[in-house]
Chains A and B, each alone.
Chain A
Amino acid sequence: MTRWLFPLLIALSTGVASAPAAVEGAVTVKGKPANDTVVWLDAPDAPRAPTRGAVLEQRDLQFFPRVLAVQVGTKVRFPNSDRVLHNVFSYHDGEPFDLGLYPVGEVKNQSFDRPGLSRVFCNIHAQMAAYVMVVDTPYFAVSDARGQFTIQDVPAGTYHYHAWRPGSPILNDVIDIRPGVPFDVRWP
């Protein structure tokens, strides 16, 4: 019996330890909470799927949200919910595209098939800007106004993680994801 019990305990403990769970964390810059930060974990063996319900809306001459994170292969909706025309486009790194001119009520779609950062602008309204960070992992989140984020369904383990926010250098580090261990992302 001992011969069977030991492997069983090992299997159970591994199963408990690697059971996917929500990971909560916080982002700070110089000690202050930082919103609009994308945090993602490398997980080459994790199953991929396009992000559902990804929307970058144009409203009041602004993009909402300002920072959007999606998985590779996601089709993002760009509805014009304003009272004026917009021409959403992106260039530089990430996914270059030009959605052309479109009026109120119209929705354009754009697929993001490569990982990287896309800076998104309106070619009519120079002050409009947003970011789409495309990640090749299912484990990612964007920090809220209090600097807090939650990454869903992460198996326990050790991960390389990355964090990016507008205007700051990208952070790369290692995190040991375990129950009860805080995931703090800090820019000095």
Chain B
Amino acid sequence: MNRRTLACTLGFLLLTSVAAAQGVTAEADITAGRSTEGVNAAGTQLRLFGAVGHDWRMSAEVTWAGNFKNRESDAFGAAYPYDRSVRPMEVFVERALPKAERLATIRIGRYRDPFGISGRSDHAYGGFTRAPLIRYGTNWALSNTFMTTGVDALIGRPALSVEASVGASQDEGQARRPDALALVVRTQGYWHSTIVGVSHMRSRPSMHGSYVQGPMVFTGIDGRWMRGGVQLRGEWVDGRPFNGVATRGGYLDLIVHRTGMGPLTLVGRVEKLDYDAGPFSAYYHRVVVGGRYQATRAIGTQINVLHQPAGLTHGHRNVLDASVTYTVRF
């Protein structure tokens, strides 16, 4: 166990002991999945969240998940590392200063980088079994398990807010940046069920090698709209994982849960990722259709059918992912 894992574990234990005496909710997810890409997967997450004092709230999460057989596949890696290790994930406290029509929140601890559509609940168990290409760590762009240990402040109003995070990168998953300074700035606007954000980040690269020089820099725009059970959301990012190369790409999600569909949610995604690196360039695209069936409040099933180029994940052009998740709250 390295130092950061030890520190996060101690933080997790400290927060859980504090939480035990407070009005805190505990939640566990247990997932089993199978993909025709030759993947069997299992995972579990335990999280605690809630109030721990006047205006203070906490969140702590630990995960264990693993892919078996084809460990190169990104199947089921929507929001957690599948590396068969027990990992502390987000461990933080935050304080919101409630003022009418105003936002002022400070978060201290370890949290997912607030770049674009970055929340756990945005990507985990929402209907998609995989992270977007631009958010899967080994694809020369961002990662849904990029994390920072530091301070995050959000100010503004619901209609327009600014968020800034400064701290040290402490990532999980295969793509890990050095424990060095990481900055993320994001601004978000809201108008009539439409939310648009612009994010910028700067940190050390997650890739390693003598050819890796300079910082990792990305700028992105994200948008969400929802009405009548139809949600459109997407992101576009442009930047460089290190000097001399460029990555750009994005995705557009359609998520439909209309009245009358009951426990069924249908999802679709189109996405692309361009990595310009001379002879090492890669140009990927992927189409996903699928759904989520919430059989009971505790049991949800996700099925995704993917069409993708052969080069993306070892020769499987068409893939079927299926998973079952059991969620329980204490």
Is the CB–CB distance between B231 and A124 below 8 Å?
A: yes
Distance in Å from the Cβ of B105 to the closest Cβ of chain A?
8
* A85 located at the interface, meaning its Cβ lies under 8 Å from any Cβ of chain B in the complex: yes
Give the number of residues in B that approach A within 8 Å (Cβ atoms).
42
Distance in Å from the Cβ of B264 to the closest Cβ of chain A?
11
Residue from B157, B227, B294 in contact with A105 in the complex, judged by beta carbons closer than 8 Å:
B157
* A89 located at the interface, meaning its Cβ lies under 8 Å from any Cβ of chain B in the complex: yes
Give the number of residues in A that approach B within 8 Å (Cβ atoms).
26
Alpha-carbon gap, A101 to B192, bound state (A): 8
Distance in Å from the Cβ of B107 to the closest Cβ of chain A?
8
Residue from A84, A87, A103, A129 in contact with B121 in the complex, judged by beta carbons closer than 8 Å:
A84
Chain B interface mostly: strand
Residue from B119, B226, B327, B329 in contact with A123 in the complex, judged by beta carbons closer than 8 Å:
B226
* A104 located at the interface, meaning its Cβ lies under 8 Å from any Cβ of chain B in the complex: yes
Do A102 and B190 form a contact, CB below 8 Å, given A84-B119, A127-B327? yes
Do A98 and B229 form a contact, CB below 8 Å, given A84-B122, A123-B257? yes
Q: Which parts of A114-152 form the interface with B (CB within 8 Å)?
A: 123-127, 129
Is the CB–CB distance between B297 and A102 below 8 Å?
A: no
Is the CB–CB distance between A85 and B224 below 8 Å?
A: yes
Is the CB–CB distance between A85 and B102 below 8 Å?
A: no
Is the CB–CB distance between B101 and A105 below 8 Å?
A: yes
* B81 located at the interface, meaning its Cβ lies under 8 Å from any Cβ of chain A in the complex: no
Is the CB–CB distance between B103 and A101 below 8 Å?
A: no
Distance in Å from the Cβ of B329 to the closest Cβ of chain A?
8
* B188 located at the interface, meaning its Cβ lies under 8 Å from any Cβ of chain A in the complex: yes
Interface residues of B (CB under 8 A from A): 25, 49-50, 57, 94, 96, 98, 101-103, 105, 119, 121-122, 126, 154, 157-158, 161, 188, 190, 192-195, 224-229, 231, 257, 259, 263, 265, 292, 294, 297, 300, 327, 329
Nearest 4 pairs of A and B residues by beta carbon: A100-B193, A101-B226, A106-B158, A105-B158
Provide 25 A-B residue pairs closer than 8 Å at the C-beta atoms, listed in order of the A residue.
Answer: A60-B49, A60-B57, A80-B158, A81-B98, A83-B105, A84-B119, A85-B195, A98-B227, A100-B226, A101-B224, A101-B231, A103-B161, A103-B188, A104-B103, A104-B105, A105-B102, A105-B103, A105-B158, A105-B161, A123-B229, A124-B121, A125-B121, A126-B294, A126-B300, A127-B297
